[in-house]
Amino acid sequence: MATKQFNTGVNTFESKIGGLTVRGQAHSLSAWFVLALRLMMGAAFLAAGWAKLTAAESFGAAGYLTNAVPKASPMLGVFHWMGTTPWFVDFVNVAVPWGELFIGLALIVGAFVRLAAFFGAFMMLMFYFGNWTVEHGIINGDFAYMLVFLAVAAFGAGHILGLDARIERYEVDGEPLVEKYPALQYILG
């Protein structure tokens, strides 16, 4: 039985996890859709962070953490601990609005996109468990947005009309930054 050889090229991608290999070929318009996802999530997070930072009342997470999380949430105890631990509440009160603002800015300008998308996905995962409802299945908007953040990171959306491509090419001692410091590929892109 003959096997079909997969031609690799600019619009193809492949990933191996364990013994499973998946391959795909992106449409030429895919870059525009990935850019749209990056900008959409950037605008949403920038607006959410800005609204919290400029609201008449300071953002406070304690009430949500201790009272709003549904009893069915598998992380109810964790949220209760977070909401009743003063130093953690203080941390969340700063981390959520500023995190949303900086994640949004990073995505809009296309800088440090993988790092921003990681933290955006983490925040959406926490919102997913904090807003836990499964009446209509386990997939909700928070879960879908988490996957959008992961897709933005996986596709290196910071290279599409973003600053990450420029940052990676910045030379240090005559060598491109990402070649001199390969670990940066995990936060840029």
Residue 90 falls inside a structural domain = yes
Residue 22 falls inside a structural domain = no
> Are the C-beta atoms of residues 115 and 122 closer than 8 Å to each other?
no
32 falls in which pLDDT band (50, 70, 90)?
very high
Residue 20 falls inside a structural domain = no
Residue 9 falls inside a structural domain = no
- Give me the number of domains the chain comprises: 1
Residue 13 falls inside a structural domain = no
Residue 4 falls inside a structural domain = no
| pLDDT at residue number 111 | 96
Residue 104 falls inside a structural domain = yes
Tell me the pLDDT tens digit for each residue of 96-124: 999 999 999 999 999 999 999 999 999 99
| pLDDT at residue number 3 | 46
Residue 173 falls inside a structural domain = yes
CA angle at 100 for the pair 96 and 105, rounded to the nearest 5°: 150
88: domain range? 30-186
Please provide residue 15's backbone torsions phi and psi, each rounded to the nearest 5 degrees. Answer: -145, 140
Tell me the pLDDT tens digit for each residue of 124-142: 999 999 888 877 678 888 9
| pLDDT at residue number 103 | 98
